[in-house]
């Protein structure tokens, strides 16, 4: 079972994802993978970190003030730091998690061959997977993932209802 959560920026995709993670953990399930929370300074978003859901280890995904050769918008993508955490997070999740979460698949993350390889081999993973996908990428997802998946578009109207719905689908797919 692969579930994709998408929606416009600021609508609550990551919040839905975090609530699903909480529900899964309350059920005693092991959740692995990554989330990429914002880094804010003085109330302004300046970047994103990557957080391994099983180990708690974190690294830098992108920052406006730390130059690198790869840019997406105003952000310099820190590919090595991102992949160092990502590889361990995915390895651990594949071996030890009941459910795999990846928040988010977006233009920055798609600069990584590790992400592209994960998505192209997703059909071989025999675990429920929750992907949060950037709205600009979701229409091209079929080119990356060659299996069926269910898409939920988060809106201000449905974002409170989606966590339970997604949780039930994920545990039903186990």
The rounded mean pLDDT for the chain is: 97
Confidence of residue 174 (pLDDT cuts 50, 70, 90): confident
Closest to 50 measured CA to CA, from 62, 58, 39: 58
The pLDDT value given to residue 98:
98
Instruction: Report if residue 113 sits inside a domain.
Output: yes
Q: For residue 130, what are the β-bridge partners?
A: 3, 101
Instruction: Report if residue 60 sits inside a domain.
Output: no
The pLDDT value given to residue 43:
94
CATH number of the domain residue 88 falls in: 3.40.50.300
The pLDDT value given to residue 146:
86
The pLDDT value given to residue 115:
98
DSSP state of 140: G
The pLDDT value given to residue 109:
98
Distance CA 114, CA 118 (A): 6
Instruction: Report if residue 130 sits inside a domain.
Output: yes
Instruction: Report if residue 48 sits inside a domain.
Output: no
DSSP state of 163: H
Instruction: Report if residue 122 sits inside a domain.
Output: yes
Instruction: Report if residue 47 sits inside a domain.
Output: no
Instruction: Report if residue 157 sits inside a domain.
Output: yes
Instruction: Count structural domains, the chain.
Output: 1
Residue 20 predicted with pLDDT over 80:
yes
Range of the domain at 155: 2-35+80-172
């Amino acid at each position: 079972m692969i579930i994709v959560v998408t929606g416009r920026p600021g609508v609550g995709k990551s919040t839905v994802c975090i609530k699903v993670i909480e529900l899964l953990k309350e059920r005693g399930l092991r959740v692995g993978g990554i989330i990429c929370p914002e880094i804010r300074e003085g109330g302004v978003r300046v970047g994103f970190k990557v957080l391994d859901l099983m180990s708690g280890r974190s690294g830098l995904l992108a920052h406006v003030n730390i130059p690198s050769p790869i840019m997406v918008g105003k952000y310099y993508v820190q590919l090595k730091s991102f992949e160092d955490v990502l590889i361990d997070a995915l390895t651990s999740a594949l071996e030890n998690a009941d459910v795999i979460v990846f928040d988010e698949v977006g233009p920055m993350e798609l600069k990584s061959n590790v992400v592209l390889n994960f998505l192209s081999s997703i059909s071989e993973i025999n675990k429920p997977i929750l992907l949060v996908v950037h709205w600009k990428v979701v229409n091209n997802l079929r080119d990356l993932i060659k299996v069926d998946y269910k898409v939920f578009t988060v809106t201000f109207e449905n974002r409170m209802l989606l966590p339970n719905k997604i949780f039930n689908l994920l545990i039903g797919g186990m």
